[in-house]
Structure 1
Amino acid sequence: MAATFSYDVVVLGYGAAGAAAALQAAQSGAKVLVVEKSSTGGGNSFVSSANMTCPQDFQAAMKKDGAAHFTDYLEESTQHTTPREVIAAFTKGLYEIEPWLKELGGELEDSKYDKMYSYYIPPMTFPHLDSAQGLNLTVRHLKQTKLSPADTGGRRIWELLHHHIKDNANITLSYNSRCKRILKDHNGQINGVLLQNDEFVPAPAVIMACGGFENDIELRRDLMGPREFGLLGSPHNNGDGFRLAQHVGARLWHASAEATVLGLLPPGEECGFALGVRKPGFIYVNRTGQRFVDETKIESHRGHIETAEQDPYSGKSAHDPMYMISDKENLLDPDKPPIVDFFSYQVVVNGYKWSEHSEEEIKKGWVIVADTLEDLAEKLDMQELPATVGEWNDQCQNPPQIDETLATTLDPMRRDHETLVPLKAPFCAIRIMPLLYNTQGGPRRNEKAQILSIDGPPIEGLYGAGECGSIWGHVYQSSTNFAETIVFGRIAAKEAAALAKSRKKLPLR
């Protein structure tokens, strides 16, 4: 008698990774159950910009060398915290995304946004690496079409996938459901999941696409340290996958890795807004009222890393709390808000619209305005602020004479010359902090998306995709997280469907 299962594949989580996995598994002939703890799904993917970095002529690169140059660069940029074969699987899968989306009715295009001085994403994050030389990259996202009409890239892709999933006879969506345990049989093979109501669902393969642990403060402090973070993405990501992986005996990796942007977390709110300053009239100051960084070159996935210096005498943050100090041209602009308005949970899900001239945000105390620097310094309890702004204005108006062959900047923090704009009254301030797009840590996976056991070999029947055990460790090339959800969601699905097919033929033991 052959083994009997309720489903061939159980997918945990219904963001882009889970959706890609579910759809691909069904396309591979599997019967799929998707377990999603929220009432709608989408996760971080739904509120993402969904930018994807790839070589400019990817087709030519794949024909020439399998995009080995891009693989070299990604391997070096992660500082070898991810095996090359895993990165090579990502590169190959990235090349396959565009034709797959075309089959579904989607189309990729180059990403183009208004220039923002506080939101800096170069096509190449680490241009000075040896492997970066001669490599030309571009950033793409899903084009807005009738089938993908949303204003934001991540929502477009998730809704495109959902369009093909919601009426698929081989896929069952279970919302408001939660996995308590992933179960193994006496041979150590996956044989199903236990849901929150103690319902056992037999299945030979499980794909973990559970999201990260951004909203589990205790887990975050254990793995990333005591610094205060806010959320940019979904508040539903609270470490379920991390704990499920521990219970099932998975090996963990990349636990402290993350992606963060500097932004505003309003008091009493779960999620914040990424800064999207459109004009160069602003600076950042730390808790002592001093500038400490080139404000225009903080790569917008490295907000924590680039501002995380510690005070050697106290062990505490050298900079928190941090503030953006701006002139009226930015925060009081009637046309452009000082936030990134094309992604984030607040914008996409909550539908928050920043008010003209920041009038409502000033009333709420999110934006602090003063006619004089002395008044602003008093409101912020920051005595050194007038002197810092005075030095900045003097530097902008009377730049020192330097040899242009030796430097391209006139600022000690290395800001480009054209961004040296003095600040004029009225003055505005916003408290800023690192906001988490996502965490990367979780169960370690190989190039087949198989999750590895703590002893090394794969746990048969267990697979991973997305930020729960992301392949990107330490630091990573920007705009590769979203692509990974699709790539490893599809790899996991193909492997899981094939395993399920083979196990259904085995006799019960």
Structure 2
Amino acid sequence: MRLSQIERWDLETGVLVIGFGAAGGVAAIEAHDHGSEVMVLEKMAFPGGLSAVSAGGIRVSDNADEAFRYLRAICEDRTPEDMLRVLADGMVEVPDYLRRLAALNGATIKVTPALGNYPLPGCESLAYCEVSVVPELENGDRYHATHATKNGGRLFKLLEDNVESRGIPVHYRTAAKELIVDGDGAVRGVVAESDGRMLNIRAARAVILTCGGFENDDEMKRQYLQAKPVLTGSFAGNTGDGIRMAQAAGADLWHMWHYHGPYGMKDPTGEFPFALYLKAVPMWTPGYPDSVSDLGIVDNKGKPLSQKALARMAWIVVDQDGRRFMDEYPPYPGDMGVRPFDAYDSKRQKFPRIPAHMIFDENGRKMYAMGRTAYNDPDAHFDWSADNLEEVARGIFEKADSLEELANLMNVDPGTLAKTIEDWNAHVAAGFDPDHGRQPDTMVPIDTPPYYFGRVYPVVINTQGGPRHNVRQEIVNPFGQPIPRLYAAGELGSVFGHLYVSGGNLAECVVGGWIAGREASALEAWET
């Protein structure tokens, strides 16, 4: 909307932050601490976004040069090096930054060395920084709308307390709809909707977009992601609002194809609105057999569990012809688990791996709960049963007394499926998977009826694409020119456009958030 169309201002501030997740929290804190009046808008009735339901491990390093080498390797010429350098430098500063914030509420900050997910230059320099204890959250209660309190929730609680202590107003149920720009293209505020009322909100210094990606916008997923459908993982609020607003102001886009997620299932009853994740398993780095990461491995109450060995995985995954097509346990299942599903069969004009079929036997069914949930939503609810029988009764899994019956339920050729299972069991016995290289410690035979299968799909935890920005977090147009007074932070236009590093988006939330907040607050306020 043009500034000339605005007849009145309903609200005014210095720096206006759109979205109250981790990036928005840091941006608001830093803008305030550097001298600006700040206001935060959050379209949901609750805060936290994806940050509050994440595992909470922020990627950090004690060596900026080595961290830069790793970022440069995983981004593989898709992101300018000056931006990666700034992120690497910030990764060294994050632990002390959080310790300063933790003085407010007694939170515990811990740093744990952790290899990068891929054996690329600089991978040994990395670690996770986590908020491991927040005294107010350790009573087991649900934090806001999160399904369970994990370290992502503890991180957000630390930021929320710091925002509240500074008196920064947060307007919930207030959705930014459109940027207000002047005749020179500078951003002067936003049009927002709150409880059915349209508000014109003036930002005297700048607007910072920290409102996430497009995980829950089906049309954007259809247009930008190859595979379909891609299930929404954990949060309904990320619907591409900031991307569309930035586009309307002239923003360039980047990394729109790239998203982070595993394969998972959906509730056939339709009652649960998000994807059903499969059992969390430790991450591993090829070539480093003794280094396994248990970030995100928790019990059913969200308490961290220590697991320093690869998990036995009870299932295999086959395509619609009954054949395996992937290593079901890649180094980073929560990221690369989705990529094999992109394959398109031009002869049959379909995605033959969507849905694919997850298969296990009775021994596998008894091994552990096959699935879990992770969501930030007050109305969602799903507790996975310990023995998986409730999920069988619900139709998530289907049961058969023989492989032939299983094949018929899956609508695949019985002979093909029988050969797949026969080959798999031979691989397990030999301790070697010649087809897809699955790690021997993870392999489990499928030989005891009854047999089970469930339909699995690609799941998006978060998208990486969005408006392109520069080292100052200024959103830029297709010619690389900054759009005046418009900034972004977090996953809204992430630097990751090739491979992802676990905890990388949280690092962007903190580092990008503080840069955006400081840069925005340094601008001279414009007069009406």
Smaller-chain TM-score bracket: 0.7 to 0.9
Q: Out of 428, 435, 439, which is 1:412 matched to?
A: 435
Change in Cα spacing, 1:226 to 1:279, as seen in structure 2 (3 Å) is closer
| 1:223 corresponds to | 224
Q: Does 1:155 align with 2:159?
A: no
Runs of 4 or more above 4 Å deviation: none
| 2:387 corresponds to | 357
Please tell me whether the aligned partners of residues 312 and 443 of structure 2 are also in contact (alpha carbons under 8 angstroms). no
Structure 2 stretches of 5 or more lacking a match? Answer: 1-8, 144-148, 281-310
Alignment of 1:51-200 (within 5 A): 51-55=57-61, 58=62, 61=63, 67-105=64-102, 106-109=107-110, 123-127=115-119, 129=120, 131-132=121-122, 135-149=124-138, 151-169=149-167, 171-196=168-193, 197-200=197-200
Please tell me whether the aligned partners of residues 279 and 330 of structure 1 are also in contact (alpha carbons under 8 angstroms). no
SS of match in other structure, 1:432: strand
Aligned mates of 2:449, 2:116 — CA distance in 1: 37
| 1:316 corresponds to | 350
| 1:32 corresponds to | 38
SS of match in other structure, 2:274: coil
Aligned mates of 1:125, 1:369 — CA distance in 2: 36
Aligned mates of 1:435, 1:395 — CA distance in 2: 28
SS of match in other structure, 1:158: helix
Aligned mates of 2:74, 2:267 — CA distance in 1: 34
Change in Cα spacing, 1:315 to 1:76, as seen in structure 2 (3 Å) is farther
Please tell me whether the aligned partners of residues 95 and 129 of structure 2 are also in contact (alpha carbons under 8 angstroms). no
Alignment of 1:292-311 (within 5 A): 292-297=325-330, 299=332, 300-311=334-345
Aligned mates of 2:518, 2:397 — CA distance in 1: 50
User: What is the Cα deviation at residue 345 of structure 1?
Assistant: 4.2
Please tell me whether the aligned partners of residues 71 and 84 of structure 2 are also in contact (alpha carbons under 8 angstroms). yes
Q: Does 1:374 align with 2:404?
A: yes
Please tell me whether the aligned partners of residues 229 and 435 of structure 1 are also in contact (alpha carbons under 8 angstroms). yes
Q: CA RMSD in A?
A: 2.4
Change in Cα spacing, 1:148 to 1:417, as seen in structure 2 (3 Å) is same
* 1:287-315 deviation line (CA, Å, top 9, x unaligned): 11101111122622122223322224234
RCO comparison, higher one (Cα < 8 Å, 6+)? 1
Under a length normalisation based on structure 2, what TM-score does the superposition of the two structures give? 0.83
Please tell me whether the aligned partners of residues 298 and 306 of structure 1 are also in contact (alpha carbons under 8 angstroms). no
Whichever residue aligns with residue 154 of structure 1, its letter is G
Aligned mates of 1:487, 1:340 — CA distance in 2: 31
| 1:476 corresponds to | 500
Please tell me whether the aligned partners of residues 213 and 220 of structure 1 are also in contact (alpha carbons under 8 angstroms). yes
User: What is the Cα deviation at residue 222 of structure 1?
Assistant: 0.9
| 1:451 corresponds to | 475
| 1:405 corresponds to | none
| 2:286 corresponds to | none
User: What is the Cα deviation at residue 485 of structure 1?
Assistant: 1.1
Change in Cα spacing, 1:287 to 1:247, as seen in structure 2 (3 Å) is same
| 1:387 corresponds to | 419
Aligned mates of 1:132, 1:211 — CA distance in 2: 28
* 1:134-173 deviation line (CA, Å, top 9, x unaligned): x34333422123145363121111122112223532x111
| 2:295 corresponds to | none
**What is the total number of aligned residue pairs between the two structures?**
466
Q: Out of 487, 490, 505, which is 2:514 matched to?
A: 490
User: What is the Cα deviation at residue 258 of structure 1?
Assistant: 0.8
Aligned mates of 1:186, 1:420 — CA distance in 2: 63
Q: Out of 24, 31, 39, which is 1:18 matched to?
A: 24
Please tell me whether the aligned partners of residues 53 and 123 of structure 1 are also in contact (alpha carbons under 8 angstroms). no
Change in Cα spacing, 1:240 to 1:410, as seen in structure 2 (3 Å) is closer
> Alignment identity in percent?
30
Aligned mates of 2:433, 2:240 — CA distance in 1: 45
Whichever residue aligns with residue 157 of structure 2, its letter is E
Q: Does 1:421 align with 2:444?
A: yes
Under a length normalisation based on structure 1, what TM-score does the superposition of the two structures give? 0.86
Please identify, of 324-333 and 208-217, the stretch whose mean Cα deviation from structure 2 is larger.
324-333
User: What is the Cα deviation at residue 16 of structure 1?
Assistant: 1.0
| 2:460 corresponds to | 436
Please tell me whether the aligned partners of residues 475 and 486 of structure 2 are also in contact (alpha carbons under 8 angstroms). yes
Structure 1 stretches of 5 or more lacking a match? Answer: 62-66, 113-121, 400-407
Please identify, of 362-371 and 208-217, the stretch whose mean Cα deviation from structure 2 is larger.
362-371
User: What is the Cα deviation at residue 468 of structure 1?
Assistant: 1.2
Aligned mates of 1:31, 1:237 — CA distance in 2: 26
Change in Cα spacing, 1:390 to 1:489, as seen in structure 2 (3 Å) is same
| 1:327 corresponds to | 361
Change in Cα spacing, 1:475 to 1:410, as seen in structure 2 (3 Å) is closer
